[in-house]
A and B are shown apart, each in its own frame.
Chain A
Amino acid sequence: MQIPLSSDVSTNVTLANQRIIRTPFQVFRRRLRASTMTLTGVAMVLAVIVLAIIGPYVAPEDPNEMNLGNRFMAPGREHWFGTDDFGRDMLSRVLHGGRESLMVGIISIAIALVIGVVVGLVSGYFGGWFDMVVQRCIEVMLAFPDLLLAMAIVSILGPSLRNVMIAIGIGGVPGNARFMRGLVLAQREREFVDAAIVSGAGHGRIIFRYILPNSISPMIVLTFMGVAGAILAGSALSFIGMGAQPPSPEWGAMLNQGRQYLRTEWWIGTFPGIVLVFTALGFNLLGDGLRDVLDPSVGN
């Protein structure tokens, strides 16, 4: 029996079908376009990444080239961001520093992500005494406020940018591991995991084929939301002399140098701060947007 369809009805059916067959990527793109804040964040982050890549090539001068005849020149046509106490061009230093600050954010977050995911996966999946021991260790680590833990670790390892990355990375592990464990526990109860067990899949296959792919998305959102915090924590440690060492043009280290001249040469402590805020703002806007777009279940 044929059911006569009016043209209106058939259009509606097609539209409904289109809505159904939209791929996750299309949904993602659609939601992304709808948010001005997220798009602004994307543009800002892209600008920072591009600057970090091409910055050293377009910088007018060598960031560490001293010129004592040019000390403390105010921002002007010759030196857009002025010069510092060694006569070094501030614009060139800011452009070179982007790489270091971005690297701190990305590497420390990657350390926290990888270790946190592995610990959370194993602890949540196998449970038992291992889980209990890991959870107690996490509780102890969470008893130290983030920055304090990072400071304690750097004080042992010694001040350097590499150690700052390790310290911030380790500081992020307990939170990530606990979050990942929660996700794994939720996935472990799902029917497809039971089905995999019944069909004879081994632990490795269940973890990597079923549990990890289904729980990683909120984890990545959480990680992305932490990039700005990691960049700021890295610069904070450099600011108190525990991170990048002179003559590094890392932004936090430059601000540390700038605070000595705050009363008279304001520009040394101002421009690196502005780019730092711009970078953190971009990542925070993007992180917020990604959370709304990808996973509304991860709260504020």
Chain B
Amino acid sequence: MLRYVAYRLLAAIPVLIGVSFVVFFMLRLVPGDPIRLMFVNQPQPSAERVEEMRHQLGLDLPVWRQYLRYMGNLLQGDLGYSYRSRLPVGPEIIKRLPNTIKLASAGLAIAVVIGLFAGIISAAFRGRWLDRGLMLFTVLGISVPGFWLGMMIMLIFGVQLRWFPVSGADTWQQLVMPAFTLGIGAAAVLARLTRANLLEAMSQEYIRTARAKGLSNSSVIWRHGLRNALIPIVTIIGLMIGGLLSGAFIIESLFAYPGVGELAVKSIQARDFPMVQGVVLFVATCYVLVNIVTDVIYGFLDPRIKYS
């Protein structure tokens, strides 16, 4: 097992180098002089000052040396400086990270609870009106854009009923609406997958054996069907975290929730490229690591999987 984890981590290194390569060139592909871009909406510096800054930032070096310099800085945790605030990018992301983790975890928890519950009920009542109704709801769930659902939730529960505050991130009440908005789409996807996997598991022979032993229906579903159906769902939940993180960008921006996503959207709008670069690199790295963790958990849950 340890060998497998080490192997996966090693295999992730070329991917992460590739990610850094893409992110590095992202900034180089932006049309316009990066130094001039730093002074958008501000008085432009003199030509000498521009040259001096170019030299300071290493922009007069060949591209491959610029990349090496960028990687060197990256390995020391230096993600560069924001064009907008002139502050280092890394600490700004770290400062906002707890808020985004809180939101994504709450969204994931809502998705897992609602999604699994709806999927199990649906499979247990297969073909009946309850199943059809729930499945219709799940198609609706994946068809409603998160940002509009968020607006409607805000309109009803924030503006009309005044149950929850419409922005901020200090209290748990402020987390309810964005987390629910984020989780509901993922819940719909999970419900569909849980239903499909559970139905497949229930058609296996060990279920017939369990029934033949005289076990009750609920015991067959919970102890035999669900345990096996849940294994592939763990992978999907892992993959969902990436979607939740990037979905959080828009939801955070809608609810003015001070997380990494809101920072990214603001930076994109202000063309603050080092900040955009930092956030993209950070989220992609998290995504790669989460996928590795998911695969390892998968192995724990399913002893049939052998690591080689």
Contacts and interface: CB of A to CB of B under 8 A. Distances in A.
Q: Is the interface of A mostly helix, strand, loop or mixed?
A: helix
Contacts of A154: 268
Interface string B147-161: 110011011000100
B140 A281 contact: yes
A155 B268 contact: yes
Contact of B143 (A152, A228, A269): A228
B284 A148 contact: yes
B246 to A, nearest CB: 4
A143 B147 contact: no
Contact of B30 (A137, A156, A240): A156
A205 B159 CA distance: 63
Contacts of A240: 249-250, 253, 265, 268-269
B71 interface: no
B34 interface: no
B256 to A, nearest CB: 11
Contacts of B155: 262, 266, 269-270
Interface string A146-160: 111001101110100
B14 interface: yes
Contacts of A140: 15, 18-19, 21-22
Given A240-B265, A263-B159, A280 B15 contact: no
A276 interface: yes
Contacts of A280: 142-145
A85 B219 CA distance: 59
Interface string B24-48: 0010011100000000000000000
Interface residues of B, number: 50
A164 to B, nearest CB: 13
B123 interface: no
Interface string A254-294: 01001100110010011001001100110011001000000
B230 to A, nearest CB: 15
Interface in A15-68: 37
Interface stretch (A74-82, A206-214, A231-239): A231-239
Interface of A: 37, 136-137, 139-141, 143-148, 151-152, 154-156, 158, 228, 232, 235-236, 239-242, 252, 255, 258-259, 262-263, 266, 269-270, 273, 276-277, 280-281, 284-285, 288, 299-300
Given A255-B148, A280-B142, 10 more contacts: A144-B287, A147-B247, A151-B268, A152-B276, A152-B280, A155-B271, A156-B26, A239-B147, A269-B148, A284-B142
